Each structure stands twice: as structure tokens, then as C-alpha cells.
Copies of this chain bind each other. A is one copy, B any other.
Amino acid sequence: MDKLYKHKIEVQPRFNDFDPMGHVNNTIFMNYFDIGKVAYFKAVWNTDFIDWREIGLVIARIETDFMSPILMDERVVVRTTILRIGNKSLELSQQLINPDTNQLKAAARTIMVGFDVNTNSAEPITEKCVEAISRYEGRPFKREISK
């Protein structure tokens, strides 16, 4: 499973990520996955600067499974990869794990869709995007065009 995820980034927790139960609050898991997504696309685009108004991908759906609470002073790593690229959408898979114990904390499946911010409409995923992901992941992606 580990091999599936080339991209990993450790999260820097903040004291007020933790709620009165002493766990990272459920809503904050989304921030952690977000840290992974931003870092992943920076790595794919191979740059330190992404103009989020240009990138042409917006989040359409997130499915999150919460496996175990994240306790104070646990380390947390986000692992991110892309599973599938369709015509107008792609599917991102992410995990939060404790890198010391390998305990899986949460998993997320995110559907992102191509989007033109100028015309405000859904757009096919660009070829440039497919190529950059293939190059980064080191395996060929083909747009699966549904009929």
C-alpha cells in the first residue's frame, strides 16, 4: 500500500487543531488533507508557485473515512496519489498515518473536476495536466473517456 503513494508530507500540528476531547478535530482532518493536496500539486507542477485561479481543478466530492483519533504529540504524515484520470475529472486518494506506528488515521477519496474560472464552466482535464501527473508518478495515465 505504501508503494502506491510516492508523495508524502509531514503535517505540522497546531495546538488548536485539538478539541476538548484531546484529539485533532474532525474538521481539521480536511486541513491536513489539504496540506497534502497543495504539496502534491506543487510537486507535480514542479514549482513553488501555483496560481490557484489558473490551475483549472476544483473539488467536487470528498469521501472521508475516520479510522482512529490523532492524539497530541503524535506525528502525522499525509500520503497523496492520483488513482484515475477521466475526461472531466480525476480521482485523488489520500491517507493520514502516524509514521512511527504506521497506524492509519483516516483515508480520503477526492474527485476534482476540470474548471475554467474565466467561463465558470466544467472543462476537460488538460493534456498538460495528464502529462505532468504521469511524469511525476512515473506511470502512464490515460484519460478514461466515458461515452
Which residues of A in the span 44-69 have a Cβ within 8 Å of any Cβ on B?
48-49, 52-53, 58-66
A27-B27, A34-B27 given as contacts; is B52 within 8 A of A21 (CB)?
Answer: yes
**Nearest opposing residue in chain B for A51, CB measure:** B72
Q: A12-27 interface mask toward B, CB cutoff 8 Å, 1 = contact, 0 = none?
A: 1011111111100111
A20-B18, A66-B60 given as contacts; is B35 within 8 A of A12 (CB)?
Answer: yes
Whether A16 lies near B31 (C-beta < 8 A) is yes
A34's partner among B14, B34, B61, B63 (CB-CB below 8 A) is: B14
Residues of B within 8 A of A130 (CB): none
- For the complex, what is the distance from the CA of A30 to the CA of B61, rounded to whole Å? 13
The residue in A26, A34, A49 that gathers the most chain B C-beta atoms within 10 A of its C-beta is A26
Residues of B within 8 A of A65 (CB): 60-61
Whether B30 lies near A34 (C-beta < 8 A) is no
Whether A26 lies near B19 (C-beta < 8 A) is no
Residues of B within 8 A of A27 (CB): 15-16, 27, 30-31, 34
- For the complex, what is the distance from the CA of A87 to the CA of B69, rounded to whole Å? 22
Sorted nearest first, the 10 A-B pairs with minimum C-beta distance are A12-B12, A16-B25, A27-B30, A20-B22, A63-B63, A18-B20, A30-B30, A62-B64, A27-B31, A61-B65
